Amino acid sequence: MNDDKGTRQEAIESIEENFQQAVDQILGNAEPEEEIDESNPFWAPVAKAKERLAEVLPDGDTETVNEMIQQENDFSKYIDQT
């Protein structure tokens, strides 16, 4: 197949590169990712969301999902279902 623009070859190279990156990450050979510059205004909504999440979830809250479900079930016994 003749591809004058080279787009097919570029696509194949991109797929191979992405595949190799995935394999490296799985095997632990990946390069460390760059740290996020939280002073960048782009990340401001993330910082606000983290603050709101910290308000909702107290520090050291280590409840599992099953514990949370059980707690909700315990509260349901106070609901008048007559």
Note down pLDDT in tens along the chain; length 82 residues: 566 677 888 999 999 999 998 888 888 887 777 787 878 888 888 888 888 887 777 665 566 778 877 877 777 667 776 6
CB atoms near residue 53 (< 10 Å) = 9
Instruction: Say which DSSP state 29 is in.
Output: -
- Domain positions in the chain are 7-76
DSSP classification of residue 38: T
Interatomic CA distance for residues 2 and 9, integer angstroms: 10
**Which run of H or E residues covers position 16?**
helix 7-27
- Give the whole-angstrom CA distance, residue 74 versus residue 72: 5
Write down the pTM of the prediction: 0.35
